[in-house]
Amino acid sequence: MKRIGIDVGGTNTDAVLIEDGKVVRAVKAPTSEDVTTGILDSLKSLGATGVLAAKRIDGVMIGTTHFINAVIQRRHLTKVAALRLGMPASASLPPFCDWPEDLADLVRGGVWMVEGGHEYDGRLFMPLDEAAVTQAAQQMKAKRLRSVAISAIFSPLDPGHEKRAAELVAAVLPDATITCSSDLGRIGLLERENAGLLNAALADLARDTIAAFEKAIADSGIAAPLYITQNDGTVAEAHQARRLPVYSFASGATNSMRGAAYLSGLADAMVIDVGGTTTDVGQLKHGFPREANSVVKVGGVRTLFRMPDLLSIGLGGGSHVSLDPLKVGPLSVGYRLLRDGIAFGGRQLTTTDVAVASGRLALGDKAKVAHLGAATCEKVFAEAARMAEEAIDRMKTEAGDVPLIAVGGGAFLIPDKLAGVSQVIHVEHGDCANAVGAAIAQVSGECDQIFKDMARPDAIAAAQGIANDRAVAAGADRKTLSTIESEDMPLAYLPGNSVRVRVRVVGDVAAS
Amino acid sequence: MKLRELSLDDIESLAVGAWVLGTGGGGNPYLPLLNMRALYRDGHRVQLMDSADLADDDWVGTVANMGAPLVGQERLTDSLTLARAVTVMERHLGKRFSALMSMEIGGANGVRPFMAAAHLARPVVDSDTMGRAYPEAQMTSVAVGDLTPHPLTAVDVRGFESIVHKVPTWKWVERVGRKICVEYGSVAATCQPPRTGAEVKKWGIHGTTTKAIAIGEAVRRAQRRHDDPIAAILAVEPGRLLFKGKVLDVARRATEGFLRGIVRFDGLDDWRGSAMTINFQNEWIVAWRDEQPLAMTPDLICVLDSVSGEAVGSETIRYGQRVTVIALKAPPIFLTPRGLDHVGPRAFGYDLDFRSVFDS
């Protein structure tokens, strides 16, 4: 089994080659403006285009920040036709009603609301007004809209109306890209619809970006399928990611944590990922990051994405250091570290300078930081350790000491002993943990549904069956599936022992 | 009659403060707030009035949604439907309401009367019947006062209109009203049994909208200035800091249509080494510190996000969350023997004599 993992970050494109469970080679290259060049460069320096190209590579897994950056920077977005099936309910809160105005103005191509939708128990809320859907599609055509987002009340329980409306729209607009909110799961109409609208807004960018990735791989001479990593630490085949780019919004942090689990061999541990500017602390459960269950805002839009629960603090390898009074971070020189740090001839004292002075790192010119005495260095390190300890303590969910895996380029700031930590684990290739996490990613399936008048174990089993089928449809090998999350929530004020069950399963990528 | 026009900023604060007073239940006021933003954008405005300015023979309509918060997350919440619950009641009574009022200041229902008021151009009385959120219709000051428990109107966004014309007790209006609500799809806009001005003055819990706005304002100001939002709440509202910690475990079960359960917390900062558990039935009911009862209903137990100061609900609280628990004072009417019969710990099945956390 041979896989390449690539993390396309804002500054660097990291790439690793993993063969039979071992990291064979890891490289960093600057991220390029046109994407393709940066990936091609990293593949070249990985050696993948040379001797390895002849051998079989089983998959190239890419993690990217393109999609989330497009939303945050309001660039490369497609105008969207919003079609909601739920009238007469929800009329006072139409699609885009809680978006930041500037983003809504860019994305809103038109809003149509027609009768339709279901109740929590699967009964019809209103019959689907098919004539109104067709009429809406004709108006979309007149406005030259090509990307359509369809949402319906309780569609995670019964996607029938969304799917039927998609057929009706496709009959009028055969070339349109159509996003159904039920493909994005989760109960909560506005948040699910928002995810659908963002997805539809990324339609053109997803097509172009994934085409660029495919070109880079083809140009490098590698004949391997392309996978895109998702927010939850799993991958989707390229065609799936092209259809649902929102699932690949924020894979960077997840990939780092998954990479940390892999490199250390631990499935349950805390992870501290020390970058240049910030440090993320999270918790691994069964090899996956514990997820945030709350509303996540992306570019100011409320969504219910599967995102890791992370605490970020302003500590990193580029953090500003002032000595009197002692303060580390939150300001950072960021990607200018090799220019602005004192050890590199700059004028800003950073944590990296302190590490060079103390001998923890062999970088830059040690003579330039010779004025920093051993006692001073120790004080700075102690402050960084205290900041890390506090963050770890806040994220811990158990009382005893836990193992901690330290990864990222700034991991030198994490000492071997910390309060509340049983063991600090530094791993080889820890600075490329994100690319490692991409390389080892699996495929997932999820079910989040309400079950009525069913015994709890039956409801959980039913949810598991749905999640399994979805994982297989997404490219997983059924024999390797395992459940990594299962939670059930009895519901208040609903009759008939209603229970909401959420199950997530993962499995290895099926051999093609 | 003095009327105070609320600004949209007041309403933003009301939503934050009402969620704090929701004591874990009542539903997040986010969707009602979105409705109010849209109504204000369209030029609607709402007025707040003091109950003292009501004439004894005025009629007041009490507005609330009934149902499962989860259904509200899908069907959203609609201002015209709430207004219709009120007009159906007026038609049934043959009387015009001079003002509207909140049944439940805690949670989403703390904002909903304003949604109806915007369409009906009536002021909203600065009073409610709970001073917080509670799960059932008999857990109100007007039920403690044994006021007439009918009629009730319940409407659905599709045009259904139901009237519970006559029932003997508040428990019955809850039972029959709940059945209608379930048939509608577990959500209904209601106008609660009508009250006279004299009844509101005598039995209402007063100043609660103003209180919610003040709490919300304190939280939002602290967020802007990066001050401690918890301290900010306690500076505007007499209350007590009970605990700081993180959620260790949440156990939930649904019985008789309610969400019941227990949350366990592990102490942080000054509470390191200490543990707290809180029992809930939609709302937080009893808080135990190191296995001793510390605070209980009708005292308000509020679980707040330690960083943002915003309330954390029993439906969404999850393990690992970092929270601060505070207690706020109960409305005096609930501290009477009759009041405790309706909303004391025994009304929720806890064999505890009520002892206020503010008496210790």
Instruction: Annotate B167-210 with DSSP letters as a single string.
Output: -SSHHHHHHHHHHHHHHHTSEEEEEEEEEEHHHHHHHSEETHHH
What does residue B245 show for φ and ψ, rounded to 5 degrees?
-175, -165
Sign of CA dihedral B138, B144, B149, B154: negative
pLDDT tens digits for range B212-263: 999 999 999 998 888 899 999 999 999 999 999 988 888 877 666 677 889 9
Mind spelling out the 3-state secondary structure of A63-105? Answer: EECHHHHHHHHCCCCCCEEEEEEEECCCCCCCCCCCCCHHHHH
Predicted confidence at residue A120, as pLDDT, reads 83
CA dist B177 and B174 (Å) reads 5
Whether residues B252 and A489 touch (CB distance < 8 A) is answered with yes
Work out the minimum CA distance from B253 to partner chain A, whole angstroms.
5
Candidates A89, A398, A399; nearest CB to B157: A89
Instruction: Please give the model's pTM, rounded to 2 decimal places.
Output: 0.86
Residue of B nearest to A189 (CA): B74
What does residue A223 show for φ and ψ, rounded to 5 degrees?
-110, 85
Predicted confidence at residue A488, as pLDDT, reads 77
For residues B213 and B13, the answer to whether their CB atoms sit within 8 Å is: yes
Neighbour order of strands in the sheet with A12-19:
A22-30, A12-19, A2-8, A59-64, A226-229, A235-237
Whether residues B320 and A86 touch (CB distance < 8 A) is answered with no
Predicted confidence at residue A48, as pLDDT, reads 56
Single out the residue of B73, B64, B134 nearest to residue B103, CA to CA.
Answer: B64
Contacts of B318 in chain A (CB under 8 A): 293-294
- Domain range list for chain A: 1-74+203-249, 78-201, 267-427, 442-507
Single out the residue of A155, A493, A311 nearest to residue B65, CA to CA.
Answer: A493
Predicted confidence at residue A384, as pLDDT, reads 95
CA dist A207 and A183 (Å) reads 18
Predicted confidence at residue A291, as pLDDT, reads 76
Angle between helical axes of A203-219 and A189-201 (0-180°, round to 10): 50
Work out the minimum CA distance from A226 to partner chain B, whole angstroms.
36
For residues A326 and A347, the answer to whether their CB atoms sit within 8 Å is: no
Fold of A267-427: Nucleotidyltransferase; domain 5 (3.30.420)
pLDDT tens digits for range B300-335: 999 999 888 999 999 888 877 889 999 999 999 999
Predicted confidence at residue B102, as pLDDT, reads 98
Predicted confidence at residue A112, as pLDDT, reads 98
Hey, what amino acid is at A185? G
Q: How confident is the model at residue B100 (pLDDT cuts 50, 70, 90)?
A: very high
Chain A residue set in contact with B, beta carbons under 8 Å: 86, 88-93, 97-98, 117, 119-120, 123, 125-126, 153-154, 187-190, 283, 290, 293-294, 309, 393-395, 397-399, 450, 489-495, 497-500
- Domain range list for chain B: 3-206, 238-359
CA dist A232 and A62 (Å) reads 14
Predicted confidence at residue A297, as pLDDT, reads 79
Whether residues A90 and B76 touch (CB distance < 8 A) is answered with yes
Average pLDDT, stretch B132-143?
A: 94
Residue of B nearest to A151 (CA): B74
Whether the per-residue pLDDT at B3 is higher than 90: the answer is: yes
Q: What CATH architecture is B3-206?
A: 3-Layer(aba) Sandwich (3.40)
Give the residues across from A60 on adjacent strands.
Answer: A4, A226
Radius of gyration of chain B (CA): 19
Give the residues across from A154 on adjacent strands.
Answer: none
Work out the minimum CA distance from B35 to partner chain A, whole angstroms.
7
What percent of chain B has a predicted confidence (pLDDT) above 90?
A: 84
Single out the residue of B348, B142, B151, B168 nearest to residue B256, CA to CA.
Answer: B348
Contacts of B73 in chain A (CB under 8 A): 187-190
Radius of gyration of chain A (CA): 24
**Alpha carbon distances (Å) from B298 to A158, A489, B73:** 41, 26, 28
The position carrying tokens 């943990």 is A433
Work out the minimum CA distance from B56 to partner chain A, whole angstroms.
35
Whether residues A88 and B248 touch (CB distance < 8 A) is answered with no
Whether residues B246 and A394 touch (CB distance < 8 A) is answered with yes
The domain B238-359 is classified under which CATH number: 3.40.1390.10, 2.60.40.10, 3.40.50.620, 2.40.390.10?
Answer: 2.40.390.10
Residues with Cβ within 8 Å of A201's Cβ and at least 6 positions away in sequence, in order, are: A71, A77, A78, A79, A80, A107, A147
Same fold, A78-201 and A267-427: no
Predicted confidence at residue A184, as pLDDT, reads 84
Same fold, B3-206 and B238-359: no
CATH number listed for the domain at residues A78-201: 3.40.50
Work out the minimum CA distance from A497 to partner chain B, whole angstroms.
7
Helix/strand/coil for B127: strand
Contacts of B266 in chain A (CB under 8 A): 399
Q: Can you identify the CATH homologous superfamily of domain A1-74+203-249?
A: ATPase, nucleotide binding domain (3.30.420.40)
Whether residues A294 and B316 touch (CB distance < 8 A) is answered with yes
Provide the token pair at B90.
């007026």
Whether the per-residue pLDDT at B146 is higher than 80: the answer is: yes
CA dist B244 and B270 (Å) reads 8
pLDDT tens digits for range B20-67: 999 999 999 999 999 999 999 999 999 999 999 999 999 999 999 998
First to last CA, chain B: 41
Hey, what amino acid is at A89? A
Provide the token pair at A38.
């940066």
Hey, what amino acid is at B245? G
Helix/strand/coil for B24: coil
pLDDT digit string (tens) for chain A, length 512 residues: 788 999 887 667 889 999 888 888 888 777 777 778 888 888 888 875 554 555 678 889 999 878 887 888 888 899 999 999 999 999 999 999 999 999 999 999 999 999 999 998 778 999 999 999 999 999 999 999 999 999 999 998 888 999 999 999 999 999 999 999 998 877 899 999 999 999 999 999 999 999 999 998 888 888 888 999 988 788 888 988 999 998 888 788 889 999 999 999 999 999 999 988 888 899 998 888 887 766 777 888 998 776 788 888 889 888 999 998 999 988 888 777 778 999 999 999 999 999 999 999 988 899 999 999 999 999 999 999 999 998 898 787 666 789 999 998 889 999 999 998 999 999 999 989 999 999 988 888 888 887 878 888 898 999 999 999 988 987 888 999 988 888 777 766 666 667 878 888 988 887 75
Residue of A nearest to B135 (CA): A493
Contacts of A86 in chain B (CB under 8 A): 75
State the DSSP code for A31. Answer: P
